[in-house]
């Protein structure tokens, strides 16, 4: 009896039902089908082609349905049914539609399941879960409980998705960029090559059109929306591109050739003691030796502890600390009003 309810009675159908039937119909045909042929076949498109109003309503409905299928990623092909046909025809090629077979071993499936959960707090969460649903539909069993021992928590900036899409489509973008050391944002034009996550921060790397040179930008410093200003495929990133190399500047291991001796009050400055080369305990203070690479940097570390730490040698570290203390004391001399 269901045949009747499905096609003969022509009762009002849900849009989804019509779309499922449209997909099945277009998958099953090798020839391109014109809109008129589809209307005559697929339930839900019944109309009177002679009635201009009715026909127009059908055309609008069909356009909406096509764009909904494309939105979902259904590869709708357009072509001519025959040399005599002037109307465009449609079909869906099975090889373009179907997800290829993915023979995942159980441990691989577990890894994919964990990967899909990474985005739980971030922008690609919906895409990750619909991607996982497709893998499940392909017969992959994803264990929702599996863990790999270390759980990365991924956070991305809101500009991650548009910048990645622009890099993928090779489209020039423009955005406002604020660096804290500068007073206001500046407008930048970039041909993005890719997006990099380095030490938990996100960057976009590309050809900066204003500087005419490769540049990287921190995503958290982009102010407002990313504007697409160019056509897709407008440029080619360099061959053998190593995105990470633009963000991470390796200077090799830091050489700590300096040696400073400081007196540290008993039970204080635990943060310094962790890096001590040697510690000679005394009755009230301990004599601690630290290695350092840069005078200003070690001075910053030592000055944190105020009177709990006192530099004995060398003079340049001692002087740098005293200089900083003097400036801080002067800045806090009189009460400052907000």
Partner 1 sequence: MTPGAVRPSADRLGRLLNLVPYLLARPGIEVAQAAGDLGVTERQLREDLELLWVCGLPGYGPGDLIDMAFDGDRVTITYDAGIDRPLRLTPDEALALVVALRMLAETPGMANRDAIERALAKIEHAAGDLAGAPVAVRMPGSDDRLATLRGAVERGRALRITYYAQTRDQTTQRVIDPIRLLMVEGRAYVEAWCRRAEAVRLFRADRIDALAELDEPANPPPSAELHDLRDGVFNPGAELPLITLRVGRGGRWITEYYPCEDVRPDPREPDEWIVTLRVTDLAWAQRFVLGLGPDATAVSPPELVERVRDAATAALDAYAAPVTETL
Identify residues 42-71 at the interface with partner 1 (CB under 8 A): 42-43, 68, 71
Contact between 83 and partner 1 (CB under 8 A)?
no
Part in contact with partner 1 (CB under 8 A); list of ranges 48-56, 79-87, 163-171, 209-217: 163-171
Residue 124 vs 174, nearer CB to partner 1: 124
Part in contact with partner 1 (CB under 8 A); list of ranges 78-86, 131-139, 209-217, 226-234: 131-139
Q: How far is the CB of 230 from partner 1 (least distance, A)?
A: 16
Helix (H, G, I), strand (E, B) or coil at 337: coil
- Segment 313-316 long-range contacts (CB within 8 Å, at least 24 positions apart): 313/260, 313/261, 314/258, 314/259, 314/260
Judged by CB under 8 A, which of 58, 89, 91, 116 binds partner 1?
A: 116
Contact between 19 and partner 1 (CB under 8 A)?
yes
| Residues present in the chain in total | 338
Residue 52 vs 283, nearer CB to partner 1: 283
Q: How far is the CB of 52 from partner 1 (least distance, A)?
A: 27
Preceding peptide of 314 cis, ω within 30°: yes
Q: How far is the CB of 93 from partner 1 (least distance, A)?
A: 11
C-alpha distances out from residue 128 to 70, 169, 185, 237, 280, Å = 19, 20, 33, 27, 56
Place of tokens 């930048």: 188
Residue 75 vs 214, nearer CB to partner 1: 75
C-alpha distances out from residue 292 to 171, 271, 323, 330, Å = 46, 15, 18, 28
C-alpha distances out from residue 239 to 203, 209, 236, 242, 243, Å = 20, 19, 8, 9, 11
Part in contact with partner 1 (CB under 8 A); list of ranges 49-57, 78-86, 97-105, 222-230: 97-105
Judged by CB under 8 A, which of 148, 223, 234, 293 binds partner 1?
A: 148
* Cα dihedral sign, 198-200-204-210: negative
Contact between 109 and partner 1 (CB under 8 A)?
yes
- Of residues 236 through 295, those in contact with partner 1 by CB under 8 A are 237, 243-244, 248, 263, 265, 268-271, 273-274, 282-285, 287
Burial of 163 (0-12, 13-18, 19+ CB in 10 A): buried
C-alpha distances out from residue 132 to 116, 141, 144, 152, Å = 7, 10, 11, 18
Residue 57 vs 98, nearer CB to partner 1: 98
Judged by CB under 8 A, which of 57, 93, 102, 234 binds partner 1?
A: 102
Judged by CB under 8 A, which of 123, 190, 217, 317 binds partner 1?
A: 123
Task: For residue 308, give the DSSP letter.
Answer: G
Q: How far is the CB of 54 from partner 1 (least distance, A)?
A: 22
Residue 28 vs 187, nearer CB to partner 1: 28
Interaction pattern, residues 183-222, with partner 1; x per rule: CB under 8 A: x--------xxxxxxxxxx------------------xx-
Among 306, 316, 321, smallest CA distance to 259 is for 316
- Of residues 295 through 324, those in contact with partner 1 by CB under 8 A are 300-301, 303-308, 310, 312, 318, 321-322, 324
Contact between 2 and partner 1 (CB under 8 A)?
yes
Place of tokens 């050739």: 257
Judged by CB under 8 A, which of 54, 77, 96, 210 binds partner 1?
A: 96
| Residue 184 φ then ψ, to 5° | -140, 170
């Amino acid at each position: 009896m269901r045949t009747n309810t499905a096609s003969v009675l022509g009762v009002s159908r849900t849009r989804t039902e019509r779309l499922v039937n449209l997909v099945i119909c277009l998958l099953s045909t090798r020839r391109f089908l014109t809109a008129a042929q589809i209307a005559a076949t697929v339930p839900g498109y019944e109309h009177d082609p002679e009635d201009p109003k009715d026909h127009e309503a059908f055309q609008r409905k069909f356009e909406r349905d096509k764009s909904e299928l494309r939105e979902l990623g259904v590869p709708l092909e357009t072509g001519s049914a025959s040399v005599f046909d002037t109307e465009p025809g449609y079909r869906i090629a099975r090889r373009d539609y179907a997800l290829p077979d993915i023979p995942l071993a159980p441990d691989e499936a577990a890894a994919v399941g964990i990967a899909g959960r990474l985005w739980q707090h971030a922008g690609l969460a919906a895409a990750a879960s619909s991607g996982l649903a497709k893998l499940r539909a392909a017969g992959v069993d994803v264990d929702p409980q599996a863990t790999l021992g270390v759980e990365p928590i991924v956070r991305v900036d809101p500009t991650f998705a548009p910048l990645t899409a622009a890099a993928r489509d090779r489209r020039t973008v423009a955005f406002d960029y604020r660096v804290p050391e500068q007073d206001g944002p500046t407008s930048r034009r970039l041909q993005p090559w890719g997006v990099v996550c380095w030490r938990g921060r996100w960057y976009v790397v590309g050809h900066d059109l204003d500087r005419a040179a490769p540049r990287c930008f921190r995503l958290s410093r982009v102010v407002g929306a990313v504007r697409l200003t160019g056509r897709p495929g407008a440029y080619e990133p360099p061959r053998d591109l190593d995105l990470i190399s633009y963000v991470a500047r390796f200077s090799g291991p830091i050489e700590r050739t300096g040696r400073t001796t400081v007196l540290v009050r008993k039970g204080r400055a635990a943060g310094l003691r962790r890096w001590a080369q040697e510690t000679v305990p005394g009755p009230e203070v301990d004599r601690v030796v630290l290695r350092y690479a840069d005078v200003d940097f070690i001075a910053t570390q030592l000055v944190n502890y105020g009177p709990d730490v006192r530099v004995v040698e060398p003079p340049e570290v001692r002087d740098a600390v005293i200089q900083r203390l003097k400036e801080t004391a002067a800045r806090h001399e009189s009460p400052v009003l907000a």
